[in-house]
């Protein structure tokens, strides 16, 4: 498969952006201009993903660029462009090997951007609500109904199936079998969790080990090794559906990590206040407002180094 002139041009521009953002001298204006270019055309996003696959595995949001940019350049513009030429010359071999996690997310059947929530109606009548930065693949056939949650968080409401096909959600760490139910599944890099709103589910660890049945009002966390203890749902479960994060005596670092899922860039917590306990309801559709509430309500200092880099520290710490 040969590349069209438009694709080659997009890859060339992507390489120039890549080199600029890795140069160590990229400005806030550069980041904003790069983001504008990225979202202007799907071909630009595909070109950027091709750059990622050259070997650097760069993410397609400015926040993930912050750390490499601050570390400085380890590649010259000429070296980057040479990699692009190698990539273009090999394009006749097709897309073999281009199965990185970022590319899978980009071309998932259902996906949301950072800060977006979106609902889908499935062919069997079930509904699927995606939280921020979520990607899902759909595998429905005559024998089963399967959702592959690549990353993020979903709320599933299953419909009665005349064919009585099982309904499953697969993550990298666990498998969830719906038992005529409404439930939430979360899958992040280090693990995830399940919370049941109605009826019940069965959760099995990815290694095929233990299986746990969860009833309505119950939840558990999981990782790559095991399933966690069953606990009762609290007010924080599923609050994202209505646009909030509810914190109940929660460590500040955990709250900020959750809040960072709804905004691009880096949201850093000073380690000295990481365990500060915080309670409240914080809007996820306006994360700057949430940070302002933290600043005024808990005597914190919010320092914005750029649009994409925010530090949270204690107000009396210099």
pLDDT in tens, 278-314: 999 999 999 999 999 999 889 899 999 887 899 999 9
Q: Where are the domains of the chain?
A: 5-105, 110-232, 243-314
- Architecture of the CATH domain 243-314: 3-Layer(bab) Sandwich (3.55)
Q: Residues 11-41: pLDDT tens digits? A: 777 777 776 666 556 677 778 888 888 888 8
211 to 59, 175, 202, 220, 247: CA distances (angstroms): 35, 9, 7, 12, 29
Is 3.40.1360.10 the CATH number for 110-232? no
Handedness of CA 147, 210, 258, 58 (dihedral sign): negative
Residue whose C-alpha is closest to residue 194's, from 211, 44, 293: 211
Question: Taking 70 as the threshold, does the pLDDT of residue 81 lie above it?
Answer: no
Strand 266-269 to 277-283 pairing? unpaired
Q: Is 31 helix (H, G, I), strand (E, B) or coil?
A: helix
* Strand partners of residue 69: none
Q: 265 forms bridges with which residues in the sheet?
A: none
- Cα separation, 116 vs 105, in Å, equals 15
**Comparing C-alpha atoms, which of 265, 242, 259 is closest to residue 300?**
259
pLDDT tier for residue 107 given thresholds of 50, 70 and 90: confident
pTM: predicted TM-score of the whole model, two decimal places? 0.68
- Do 110-232 and 243-314 come out as alike in CATH topology? no
Name the phi and psi angles at 97, rounded to 5: 85, -10
SS3 assignment for 60-129 = CCHHHHHHHHHHCCCCCHHHHHHHHHHHHHCHHHCCCCCCCHHHHHHCCCEECCCCCCEEEECCCCCEEE
């Amino acid at each position: 498969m040969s590349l069209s002139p438009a694709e080659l041009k997009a890859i060339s521009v992507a390489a120039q952006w890549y080199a600029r953002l890795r140069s160590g001298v990229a400005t806030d204006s550069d980041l904003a201009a790069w983001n504008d270019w990225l979202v202007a055309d799907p071909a630009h996003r595909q070109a950027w993903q091709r750059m990622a696959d050259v070997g650097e595995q760069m993410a397609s949001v400015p926040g993930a660029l912050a750390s490499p940019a601050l570390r400085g350049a380890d590649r010259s513009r000429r070296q980057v462009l040479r990699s692009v030429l190698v990539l273009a010359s090999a394009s006749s071999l097709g897309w073999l090997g281009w199965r990185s996690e970022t590319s899978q997310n980009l071309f998932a059947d259902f996906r949301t951007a950072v800060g977006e929530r979106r609902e889908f109606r499935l062919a069997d009548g079930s509904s699927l609500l995606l939280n921020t930065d979520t990607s899902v693949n759909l595998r429905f056939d005559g024998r089963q109904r399967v959702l592959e949650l690549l990353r993020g968080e979903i709320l599933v409401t299953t419909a009665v199936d005349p064919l009585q096909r099982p309904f499953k959600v697969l993550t990298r760490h666990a498998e969830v079998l719906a038992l005529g139910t409404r439930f939430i599944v979360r899958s992040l890099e280090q693990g995830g969790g399940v919370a049941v709103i109605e009826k019940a589910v069965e959760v099995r660890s990815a290694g095929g080990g233990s299986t746990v049945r969860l009833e309505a009002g119950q939840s558990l966390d999981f990782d790559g090794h095991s399933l966690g203890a069953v606990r009762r749902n609290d007010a924080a479960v599923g609050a994202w559906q209505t646009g909030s994060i509810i914190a109940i005596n929660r460590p500040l670092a955990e709250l900020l990590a959750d809040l960072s899922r709804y905004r691009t860039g880096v949201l850093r917590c000073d380690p000295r206040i990481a365990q500060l306990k915080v309670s409240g309801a914080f809007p996820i559709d306006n994360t700057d407002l949430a940070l302002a509430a933290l600043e005024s309500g808990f005597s914190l200092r919010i320092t914005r180094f750029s649009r994409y880099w925010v530090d949270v520290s204690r107000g009396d710490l210099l």
